[in-house]
Structure 1
Amino acid sequence: MDQRLKDYLVILIGCGQMGRALAEGLIDSAAIEPARLVCLDAAEKKAQALADDLNAREDIPEVELDESGQPFRRLRLYIVAVKPGDVRAVLESRSDSFTDEDTIVSVAAGVPISVIRRAAGPFPGVARAMPNTPALIGAGVTGVMGDGTIDMEAVNAVFEAVGRVVRIRHEAHFHAVTALSGSGPAYIFTAIEAMADGGVLMGLDRATAIELASGAIEGAARLVQAQDFVHTAELKDRVASPGGTTIAALAALEQHGFRHALIRAVEAAAVRSKQMTEDFESS
């Protein structure tokens, strides 16, 4: 068990794709014992299926017994993994049961801490997190931020079970986090598809082209992380020999606005995130 979670009961609200990824990561990594995980969902069969798969709980125990048989209430860490539009209703329906020993972590895009706080009431601590879909295979990256009152080490432990964690200092930066790492896998999937299309155009079969394209991107990303003291421009230049194939390809990318398109994609996603936040704050 991860010692940062030893005092907690983790309560997952929302057993969809991301909720399942987080639950499986917590159990598969042995971060918590199955009996310390509760799976809840508006679709009861979905929650039951996940709880059965992981041998987890399907309801929140009012009290538990300590080693001497005395009743006690564990600290509770709620992970709210529902759609952004459902966050307020989910929290309002449970607000009477929250205490100052509870922590609420929302993974919903665009829902600010102020809205979470109003829905949950004055007692629990609040945090935001923005994971991404590679968490499904334990390779996610998650931006996290708390309201200053909570145990961030416990929050970190939850998301480290499915990948890397980056602490965010200013909530306004969550728009950029959402746009860059939250939405980022979709940009890369599109790049892999396009690179593979190029390979097929040049005579490769589709499976081989996908394997080569995805492998190249995976390897390049790992190289950037392993040599974080080297600027990406220098890594690029090491591949681009004078008058060679790579510099010809890079010139074509520049001609067609590749760099500009990625910058504008991140900007567009961040602007949309900000619009969502403004809508939640005004409603």
Structure 2
Amino acid sequence: MVAGPKGHNIVYLVGHMPPGSHERQRGFPQAHAAHLVYTDYHNRKYLELVRKFADIIVGQFFGHLHSDTFRVIYGERGRPVSWALLAPSITPKRSSEGANNPGLRIYKFDKDTGQVLDYTQYYLDLSQANSKSKGEANWSIEYTFSSYYGISEITPNTLHQLADKLTAVNHNTFFDRYYTANSVKLYSNPHQSCDANCAHNHYCAITRVDYEEFAHCLKTAASALASSSFLVPVPNLSLIVLISILVISKV
């Protein structure tokens, strides 16, 4: 990347494990090792790298968490400078913090500029597939990013604005849409499975990729949020697919 600006190159960062904290894990990262995907040192070094080369990094893509979410990275003055999209896995996840349907994503980008324009998210309804005698898997379009969130382009600023729309203590249309997508349409009623404390946990994970900032974000709003916490019921996921695919489509 050091030679990038001189050669007018663009860079995609693609990895398995994302920086930052798990949006589904409740509480402060110091008390929950599951929050910490990277060590604190390596998480900070990664963020420094992204901020330094934000001008040529046109996209970051990760998985690992099996959930559908995103991250916004800010510069030292608080300006959004980069973003990361976390795609769900074809392998469904079963855990106490929540499960998900299998998902597959197709990105659309400008082949001349490298700018990511949009993506289409596909999903497999496991309950429906398992209810059929032959166990047939029918993949369907879950949503297209631009129309689902009403966003015309994927940039640090537009994702920052989307994150801000998720901050209401009471549920709102944008958070309901986001939370339904987060589980790949497994949980269709966010009001029953994610309270205000849960919603704020998602917001902090999205906008505070640094561990210390994430903890501060949770503490700052703790008094204004519901203190109750509960586990989301985990459905029976008997149909398991063992492949994870990232597909990119040129336009």
Higher alpha-carbon Rg: 1
More helix by share: 1
More strand by share: 2
TM-score interval (norm. to shorter): 0.3 to 0.5
Question: Taking CA–CA contacts closer than 8 Å with sequence separation of 6 or more, which of the two structures ends up with the larger relative contact order?
Answer: 2
TM-score (norm 1): 0.30
